[in-house]
């Protein structure tokens, strides 16, 4: 499976704490670690670990983090020829607090915001070569729209993970084959009430949706727009950062197996990913995923 990801590349600076601080409070944390991250890079790595041939289109700064991030991606087998190194801008950073089994994330976009329509157009061949094209919203919206337009032009399925959430223009929604939000992200993307149930939100989407439901698995609509639910795989979570990205990478990797099976495998991969600290550390390879599926079935 050939996958082209258009997306962000960040260095994650992760603080662990027994609980989240209150506003104005200073709290003594319990640890600090630095991990490779960024939704685009995470999705690229998730798909590559599972055996896909992955190309990433994005940007890093001409700095130490940028060099580390590129090297890390290359070590994972991700082709980074479509990643620009931008002078005089810092690489993307994510300030992450992990506490109470959850996380808070603040992203400083840096070089990720140097990705634009022109730089995406320059990488058109990578989109034309792909079996599946995938993007998120940590790069500018016009660059995402251009990627979606090129994917459509070349007849490639376009998966959009609408995170971080923002209202999506009709122009983009018309180009999307599958949206992969959580419930909150779908409500924001479509300008709908956050009080609607996941089923009501999915029913109102103008395209197919695969909605992640955290510990409840995923809800998805088939091409016939009927809704189906996939249960989650129970694990003890250590760090949920990157679970959605693992889900998306696996969904793209197993796209050719049909949506129900791709969603099942994506749920299993995402479950495994939360068992280790850091967005990419727990992402399984194919052997680990198969072993986990067998142990879950027995």
Applying CB under 6 A, the residues found at the interface with ligand RIB are 8, 10, 12, 37-39, 42, 94, 105, 107, 138, 241-242, 244-245, 279
Task: In angstroms, give the least distance from the CB of 41 to ligand RIB.
Answer: 8
Name the minimum Å distance from CB 261 to ligand RIB: 24
C-beta of 32 vs 195, nearer to ligand RIB: 32
Query: For residues 248 and 180, is the Cβ–Cβ distance under 8 A?
Result: yes
Sign of the torsion angle spanned by Cα atoms 232, 36, 103, 167? negative
Given a contact cutoff of 8 angstroms between Cβ atoms, the answer to whether 254 and 262 are in contact is yes
Residue 94 vs 219, nearer CB to ligand RIB: 94
| Minimum gap (Å) between residue 9 Cβ and ligand RIB | 8
Nearest CB to ligand RIB, comparing residues 133 and 163 = 163
Active-site residue (options: 12, 177, 239, 245): 245
CB atoms within 10 A of CB 88: 8
Task: Check residue 22 and report its DSSP letter.
Answer: P
Closest CA to 49 of 72, 81, 76: 76
Please, what is the minimum distance in Å from the beta carbon of residue 248 to ligand RIB?
Answer: 9
List % helix, strand, coil for the chain (3-state, nearest 5).
40, 25, 35
Which 3 state secondary structure label does DSSP give 171?
helix
177 in active site: no
Q: Smallest gap, in angstroms, from Cβ of residue 108 to ligand RIB?
A: 10
Our CB check for ligand RIB shows the closer of 138 and 177 to be 138
Q: Quote the crossing angle between the two packed helices 64-75 and 39-49, to the nearest 10°.
A: 20
Report how far apart, in Å, the C-alpha atoms of 273 and of each of 128, 173, 233, 239 are: 30, 29, 11, 8
* Closest to ligand RIB by CB, 123 or 240: 240
Catalytic residues: 245
């Amino acid at each position: 499976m050939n996958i082209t990801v258009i997306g962000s590349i960040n260095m994650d600076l992760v603080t662990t704490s027994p609980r989240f601080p209150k506003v104005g409070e200073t709290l003594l944390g319990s640890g600090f670690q630095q991990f490779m991250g960024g939704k685009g890079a995470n999705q690229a790595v998730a798909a590559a670990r599972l055996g896909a041939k992955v190309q990433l289109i994005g940007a890093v700064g001409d700095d130490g983090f940028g060099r580390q991030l590129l090297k890390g991606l290359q070590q994972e087998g991700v082709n980074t020829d479509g990643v620009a190194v931008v002078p005089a801008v810092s690489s993307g950073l994510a300030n992450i607090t992990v506490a109470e089994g959850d996380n808070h994330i603040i992203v400083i976009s840096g070089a990720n915001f140097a990705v634009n329509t022109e730089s995406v157009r320059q990488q058109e061949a990578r989109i034309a070569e792909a079996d599946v094209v995938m993007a998120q919203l940590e790069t500018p919206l016009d660059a995402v729209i251009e990627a979606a337009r090129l994917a459509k032009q070349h007849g490639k399925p376009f998966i959009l993970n609408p995170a971080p959430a923002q209202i999506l223009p009709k122009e983009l929604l018309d180009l999307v084959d599958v949206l992969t939000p959580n419930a909150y992200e779908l409500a924001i993307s479509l300008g709908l009430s956050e009080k609607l149930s996941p089923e009501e939100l999915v029913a109102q989407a103008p395209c197919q949706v695969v909605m992640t439901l955290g510990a409840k698995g995923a809800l998805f609509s088939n091409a016939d727009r009927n809704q189906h639910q996939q249960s989650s795989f129970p694990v003890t979570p250590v760090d949920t950062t990157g679970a959605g990205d693992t889900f998306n990478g696996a969904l793209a990797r197993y796209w050719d197996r049909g949506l129900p099976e791709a969603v099942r495998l994506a749920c299993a991969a995402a479950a495994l990913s939360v068992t280790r600290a850091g967005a990419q550390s727990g992402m399984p390879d194919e052997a680990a995923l198969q072993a986990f599926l067998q142990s879950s079935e027995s």
